[in-house]
């Protein structure tokens, strides 16, 4: 069941303020902190300025690819609620979680079943699993059937070539959260009209799901 979303790759205050103050803001907002190859990377001084804002209902996520001690120390006092970690061992994630007292989104890039099964190694250190496609910047998709039947004791976030106008019901039985970045862009920049369409569609789906749940609960009570 989809509960919400993450909008990732925010790098300007205008877009951030629009998202935060949207009638249906995302659960998570992600910032690329240490991957300069990304067009969505935010340099440290700009990041500090960008995050100097009231979050309202959203939680901030630092997206980190195999972070070293330097970047972890540089961002430790910024207003992040979660660290989203790529290419990290379970031991490294545990050390980061214990030292910096952050919730963890463990990002696993998926090509085949072998990649999916790696989730088992992270059960004790993760708060949310993110199943993403291979290639950080390419916004590719992967075969969602690979994760359709896995049983997790944690929440699942799905990324990889999800578009702003997709039929969101296609993801309803797969994920708890949807993670979008490129799917909300036009010519490499976040597009407010696409963001608005997506957030409104997502809110509509969540409301429909909640109505069905309430109906079923009432039926059981009767």
Taking the C-alpha atoms of residue 174 and residue 211, their distance in angstroms, rounded to an integer, is: 20
Closest Cα to residue 47, out of 60, 59, 37, 58? 60
Longest dimension (CA), the chain: 59
**pLDDT digits (tens), the chain, 222 positions:** 899 999 999 999 999 999 999 999 999 999 999 999 999 999 999 999 999 999 999 999 999 999 999 999 999 999 999 999 999 999 999 999 999 999 999 999 999 999 999 999 999 999 999 999 886 555 677 888 899 888 888 999 999 889 999 999 999 989 999 999 999 999 999 999 999 999 999 999 999 998 888 887 787 765
Write down the pLDDT at residue 144. Answer: 87
Q: Are 163 and 191 in contact (CB under 8 A)?
A: no
Characterise 121 by phi-psi region: left (phi > 0), alpha (psi -120 to 50), beta (else): alpha
Write down the pLDDT at residue 149. Answer: 81
Q: All domains of the chain, ordered by start, with CATH?
A: 4-221 (3.20.20.70)
Q: Could you tell me the pTM of the whole model?
A: 0.94
Taking the C-alpha atoms of residue 151 and residue 78, their distance in angstroms, rounded to an integer, is: 34
Write down the pLDDT at residue 136. Answer: 59
Q: How many residues does the chain have?
A: 222
Write down the pLDDT at residue 148. Answer: 83
Write down the pLDDT at residue 67. Answer: 97
Closest Cα to residue 105, out of 128, 123, 88? 128
């Amino acid at each position: 069941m989809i509960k919400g979303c993450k909008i990732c790759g925010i790098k300007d205050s205008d877009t951030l303020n629009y998202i935060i103050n949207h009638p249906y803001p995302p659960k998570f907002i992600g910032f690329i902190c240490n991957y300069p190859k990304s067009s969505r990377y935010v340099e440290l001084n700009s990041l500090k300025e960008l995050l100097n804002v009231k979050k309202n209902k959203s939680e901030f996520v630092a997206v980190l690819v195999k972070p070293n001690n330097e970047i972890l120390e540089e961002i430790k006092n910024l207003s992040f609620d979660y660290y989203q970690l790529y290419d990290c061992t379970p031991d490294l994630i545990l050390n980061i979680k214990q030292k910096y007292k952050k919730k963890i989104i463990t990002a696993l890039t998926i090509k085949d079943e072998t990649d999916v099964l790696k989730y088992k190694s992270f059960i004790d250190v993760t708060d949310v699993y993110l199943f993403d496609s291979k290639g950080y910047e390419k916004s590719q998709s992967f075969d969602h059937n690979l994760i359709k039947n896995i049983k997790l004791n944690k929440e699942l976030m799905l990324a990889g070539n999800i578009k702003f106008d997709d039929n969101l019901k296609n993801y309803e039985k797969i994920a708890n959260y949807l993670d979008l970045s490129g799917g909300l862009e036009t010519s490499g920049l976040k597009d407010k009209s696409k963001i608005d369409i997506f957030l409104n569609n997502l809110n509509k789906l969540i409301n429909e799901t909640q109505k069905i749940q309430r109906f079923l609960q009432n039926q059981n009570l009767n």
